[in-house]
């Protein structure tokens, strides 16, 4: 039985690629960007959103789990986030829509801001990475740090999960 696997990297750090890779490795019930906390209890792998917010709970609740912190060059990450924020500016969202409430919850829980704010995002980037690394500092075997965008792939991931390397290219689903 495979351990549960949680991608705890911030959005825009190749979390979709990670989920695609985990599915190839047999994590059939892997989801990207779980919208609700309850979804995390029903899957064997997930990345982004709830995982980045609730990883300490997931570590305590599922002690045999593995955690993967996907990362990305800060400048590239900021550019990607700017594009993402520009797709749905808050001033163009109907405030009576359930989508508005979801957007507010999502942005405040994940980014601490409703609008693109470079300084706030930089602080979130460094604070999140430091917090994750410190949380697992006495248990380094539970945490893998991957920069998929800069070439980390099967060898690193499969070694961490103790599974064979598949005979296909690592998925790259990034902007």
Only one residue has tokens 């955690």, namely: 67
Q: Which CATH architecture has domain 5-161?
A: 3-Layer(aba) Sandwich (3.40)
Q: Which two tokens stand for residue 43?
A: 């899957």
Please state the pTM of the whole predicted model. Answer: 0.94
Element (H, E) at 18: helix 15-24
Query: Could you report the per-residue pLDDT of 91-137, keeping only the tens digit for each?
Result: 888 888 888 888 898 899 888 899 999 999 999 999 999 999 999 99
Q: Are 81 and 18 in contact (CB under 8 A)?
A: no
Q: How far is CA 155 from CA 40, 58, 109, 159, 173, in A?
A: 27, 25, 33, 6, 18
Helix axis angle, 98-111 to 118-135, nearest 10° = 60
The three-class DSSP label of residue 6 is strand
What is the per-residue pLDDT across 4-30, written as a single tens digit (0 to 9) for each? Answer: 999 999 999 999 999 999 999 999 999
Domain residue limits, the chain: 5-161
């Amino acid at each position: 039985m495979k351990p549960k696997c949680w991608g705890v990297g911030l959005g825009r750090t190749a979390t979709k690629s990670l989920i695609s890779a985990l599915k190839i490795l047999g994590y059939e019930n892997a989801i990207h960007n779980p919208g609700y906390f309850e979804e995390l209890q029903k899957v064997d792998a997930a990345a982004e959103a709830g995982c980045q917010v609730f990883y300490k709970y997931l570590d305590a609740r599922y002690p045999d789990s593995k955690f993967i912190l996907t990362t990305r060059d800060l400048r590239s990450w900021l550019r990607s986030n700017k594009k993402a924020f520009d797709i749905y500016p808050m001033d163009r969202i109907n405030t009576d829509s359930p989508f508005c409430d979801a957007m507010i919850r999502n942005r405040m829980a994940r980014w601490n801001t409703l609008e693109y704010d470079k300084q706030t995002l930089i602080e979130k980037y460094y604070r999140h990475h430091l917090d994750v690394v410190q949380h697992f500092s006495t248990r380094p075997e539970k945490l893998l740090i991957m920069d998929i965008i800069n070439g980390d792939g099967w060898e690193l991931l499969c070694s961490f999960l103790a599974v064979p390397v598949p005979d296909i290219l690592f998925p790259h689903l990034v902007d």
